[in-house]
Amino acid sequence: MDPAPLDGNSLAGPLAGLFATDVTLVTGRCAHCGDVSVLAACVVYRHPMGAVARCRACTAVLLVVVEHPAGTRVGMPGLAWWQGPAGSTRTGAVGD
């Protein structure tokens, strides 16, 4: 049996080096079906090469995260947009 998927909470660590705010609270819209949800709620499959985040509604691939020693690479093949949590338009420190 294939391992059961995780969810977007598990992407907090892999994405922590890229963004100043906690990314799991970011809201995204699936470019395929239009579902809007926080990243924490997407379905995540961990592979040896990296993590693949899929839409909770239609399973389209939203995001691919690969942690390289040279730096973390994020592909976003399936996100129409990404919106920060409230307060993320301020400059400087964000949230708490």
Partner 1 sequence: MSSWHAAQVVRTEPLAASARVLTLAVPGFAGALAGQHVDVRLTAPDGYQAVRSYSLARVGRDEVVELAVDEVRGGEVSPYLVHEARPGDRMEVRGPLGGYFVWRPHDGGAVQLVAGGSGIVPLAAMARARAAAPTSDAPFRLLAAVRTPADAFFAKELDSTEGLTTTWLYSREAPPASTRPPGRLTLDDVTAHAFAPDVGARVYVCGPTGFVEAAAALLVDAGHDAARIRTERFGGV
Residue ranges binding ligand FAD (CB under 6 A): 3, 6, 9-10
Using rule CB under 8 A, residue 40 touches partner 1: yes
What, of partner 1, Zn ion, ligand FAD, none, does residue 40 touch, CB below 5 to 8 Å by kind? Answer: partner 1
How far is the C-alpha of 9 from the C-alpha of 39, rounded, in Å?
8
Residues 61-90 that bind partner 1 (CB under 8 A): 85
How far is the C-alpha of 60 from the C-alpha of 68, rounded, in Å?
24
What, of partner 1, ligand FAD, Zn ion, none, does residue 61 touch, CB below 5 to 8 Å by kind? Answer: none
Kindly report the number of other CB atoms within 10 A of residue 62's CB atom. 30
Nearest partner of 38 among 12, 4, 72, judged by Cα:
12
Using rule CB under 8 A, residue 50 touches partner 1: no
Using rule CB under 8 A, residue 34 touches partner 1: no
CB-CB contact of 54 with 45 (8 Å): yes
Question: Of the two residues 6 and 16, which places its CB atom closer to ligand FAD in the complex?
Answer: 6
